[in-house]
């Protein structure tokens, strides 16, 4: 089963080897992710005011037989001298935290990253609802 992760990027704040990304959510269809991206780029503070683009990444849901309400995703990353997240490694989607923890153990043995996290995402729920402002 496939899900679609919507990521918006502030191109002005991105530079070589770094992308200022905002993960907006995980969606059941590519069309839903596109509609959400267009809404954000036209209506949500920050995303509509600055030069932002979007991309949709296809994510596999491991061992899913039907559309889940939530999924778990693992992320590993390093930080550069500006404390920006770089060398990001991201897993597919898991149905339970326990599955994600098992995969985290496997990934930590395969890849060296300074930081690791596991995040739970509700399918179809948008994040960054109030947008952002630059300081």
Q: Global pTM? A: 0.90
Express each pLDDT in 96-130 by its tens digit: 999 999 999 999 999 999 999 999 999 999 988 88
**pLDDT for the residue numbered 97:** 96
Domains of the chain, residue spans? 2-122
Reference 122, options 9, 2, 21, 28; nearest CA is 28
What's the length of the chain? 135
- Taking only the tens place, the pLDDT of each residue in 40-81 is 999 999 999 999 999 999 999 998 888 899 999 999 999 999
Q: Are 32 and 8 in contact (CB under 8 A)?
A: no
């Amino acid at each position: 089963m496939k899900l679609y992760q919507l990521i918006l990027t502030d191109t002005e704040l991105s530079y070589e080897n770094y992308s200022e990304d905002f993960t907006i959510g995980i969606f059941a269809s590519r069309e839903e992710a596109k509609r959400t991206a267009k809404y954000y780029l036209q209506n949500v503070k920050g995303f509509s005011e600055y030069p932002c683009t979007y991309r949709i990444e296809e994510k596999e849901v491991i061992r899913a037989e039907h559309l889940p309400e939530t999924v778990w995703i693992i992320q590993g990353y390093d930080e550069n001298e500006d404390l920006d997240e770089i060398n990001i490694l991201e897993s597919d989607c898991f149905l339970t935290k326990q599955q994600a923890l098992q995969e985290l153990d496997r990934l930590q043995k395969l890849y060296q990253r300074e930081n690791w996290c596991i995040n739970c995402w509700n399918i179809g729920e948008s994040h960054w609802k109030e947008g952002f402002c630059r300081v």
